[in-house]
Amino acid sequence: MAENAVFVGNKPVMNYVLAVLTQFNSGVKEVSVKARGRAISRAVDVAEIVRKRFLPDVDVKDIKISTEKVESEQGEANVSAIEITLVKKE
């Protein structure tokens, strides 16, 4: 599967909503919204805004959660991650 992913960070939510909408409008059937750590709630917001306000024919196909080990100056830390797969209904 070609990876159509939007990585959510610290920018405003609408930036990521626009990125998802752009991918769907280019003919893609499936888009993954990915985030780690504190950006997880923003990723959920992105998925919900796309579904409720812009593209009612988009559904949540899958949600994956995981933990990633990240090296930092303080040593090793565990960071939560989420991947929300959105799919356009036929």
Structural domains in the chain, CATH included, are 5-88 (3.30.110.20)
Which one, of 62, 82, 56, lies nearest residue 48 by Cα?
56
Contact, 45 vs 27, CB < 8 A?
no
Percent of the chain with pLDDT over 70: 98
Q: Write out the H or E segment, with its range, that includes residue 14.
A: helix 13-25
pLDDT at 90 over 80: no
Strand 5-7 relative to strand 30-36, pairing: parallel
Q: Which amino acid, 64?
A: K
**By three-state DSSP, how is residue 36 classified?**
strand
pLDDT of 72: 85
pLDDT of residue 1: 44
Average pLDDT value for residue range 53-80: 95
Give the span between the Cα atoms of 60 and 27, in whole angstroms.
Answer: 17
